[in-house]
Amino acid sequence: MLGPGAKGPKVLALQTRLAELGYNPGSVDGAFGGGTSSAVMAFQKVEGLSADGVPGPETLGRLERPQGSVPGGGGLRIEIDLGRQVLFVVGAGRTRAFNTSTGNNEPFNWPDGTPALAYTPTGNFSVYYRYDGVFEGVLGNMYRPLYFTGDWAVHGSGYVPAYPASHGCARVSNADQDWIWDHVPGGTPVVVY
């Protein structure tokens, strides 16, 4: 059974295949950790499968013959697919896909009591500010945020479920954000749809 905590050649083969397809399983070392689970979840989302981060028979079959679509072509950019909850980095050598969790579209109150809606804006933006570290925001900590409009950012988080759960930012795992940070400079276009 492949899943968190598993080790061995089957895990190594899974990690190798995910990396070949443009996912970020972390260290390709034969140990199934959080990075591998996050990469499996991103793959499952792209393929339209149930996204739980555990590679069952259907997921393993699709790894051999992927059918999901990923954006390509053009220059370097981030694309955030709200429907599939996948963040793509296009043009950094090839398209990379990451598990993301965006705005849950539910009402909330700012700390001062002002009501708001937890949504992720759609449209064409660009990275206008990068913060290298943990930014302590009023709604929570953001790891290495890349701001693309107003207070919205792509940032690392310790909690990135398969479904929309944020106040509006695009959360990715901290390890995924390290990769994104290293490959996405300021001014990079960000397309949210």
Q: Evaluate whether 47 touches 70 at the Cβ level (below 8 Å).
A: no
70 in any annotated domain: no
Please give the Cα distance from 98 to 114 (Å, whole number): 32
Tell me which residues of the chain have a pLDDT lower than 70.
92
Q: Residues 118-129: pLDDT tens digits?
A: 999 999 999 999
Residue located via tokens 């009591």: 113
Supply 31's token pair: 């140990």
180's CB contacts (< 8 A; 6+ apart) are 78, 87, 89, 98, 146, 154, 172
170 in any annotated domain: yes
pLDDT of residue 92: 66
Q: Residues 70-95: pLDDT tens digits?
A: 999 889 999 999 999 999 999 967 89
1 in any annotated domain: no
Same domain, 60 and 142: no
72 in any annotated domain: no
Structural domain containing residue 35: 9-64
